[in-house]
Amino acid sequence: MLFKGFGLGLFIVLAAVLMLGSVAADYEKFLRQHYDNPMSNVGDHYCNKMMQRRGMTSPKCKEVNTFIHDTKNKIIAVCGDGGEAIDNGLRRSKNQFRVTTCKMKGSSTKPPCDYRENTSPRYIVIACENGFPVHYEEGQI
């Protein structure tokens, strides 16, 4: 009987570890795709260079991507009291962030990828899991 209880406890601990591992992987992907603070000094053609550097140009070009130029703590805060819940489980920041949005020129998603950029302050909309951002909602600019 003791083993049954121990087995159940072990199962719960392993399930929690796997769930947190998944959130950690999603948060790391979010950072790779959307976090750039301070803004990288890559010279001309920021978007072309950053999209390639962050692995979003192969095997096909990602059509739209936004980089956030602020601290991780301020971005994470949007998942808490620094943001407000909106529809579909998304959260909108209460304060504006400096961001650069990269949009593909043309309609082909085949490399080589060519982007235009727009850097401006704006509110960000993200999805969160366990208090960490895991998705940037590009459609809510």
Catalytic residue (choose from 37, 49, 135, 141): 135
Residue 14, pLDDT > 70, answer no
How many Å separate Cα 85 from the centre of its chain? Answer: 17
> How confident is residue 42, by pLDDT bands cut at 50, 70 and 90?
very high
Range of weakest confidence among 1-10, 25-34, 75-84, 130-139: 1-10
Binning pLDDT at 50, 70 and 90, where does residue 5 land? low
Under DSSP, the state recorded for 116 is E
Interior CA angle at 89 toward 81 and 20, to 5°? 80
Identify whether 69 is a catalytic site residue. Answer: no
Q: Is the peptide bond before 121 cis (omega within 30 degrees of 0)?
A: no
Cα–chain center distance at 42: 21
Domain positions in the chain: 8-137
For residue range 84-134, what is the model confidence (pLDDT) as tens digits? 999 888 999 999 999 999 999 999 999 999 999 999 999 999 999 999 999
Catalytic one of 30, 33, 34, 65: 34
- Between 63 and 2, the higher pLDDT residue: 63
Residue 140 confidence class, pLDDT cut points 50, 70, 90: low
Mean pLDDT of 6-14: 48
Mean pLDDT of all residues belonging to the chain: 88
Q: Is the pTM of this model over 0.85?
A: no
Is 45 noted as a catalytic residue in this protein?
no
Q: Tell me the residue type at 126.
A: I
Side chain identity at 60, as an amino acid letter? K
Contact 51, 43 (CB under 8 A): no
Query: Is domain 8-137 annotated with CATH 3.40.50.300?
Result: no
Instruction: For residue 97, list its beta bridge partners.
Output: 122
More confident call, 122 vs 141: 122
Task: Give the total residue count for the chain.
Answer: 141
Please determine, for residue 21, whether its predicted confidence score (pLDDT) is greater than 90: no
Q: In 1-141, which ranges are continuous DSSP H helix?
A: 2-34, 46-53, 72-77
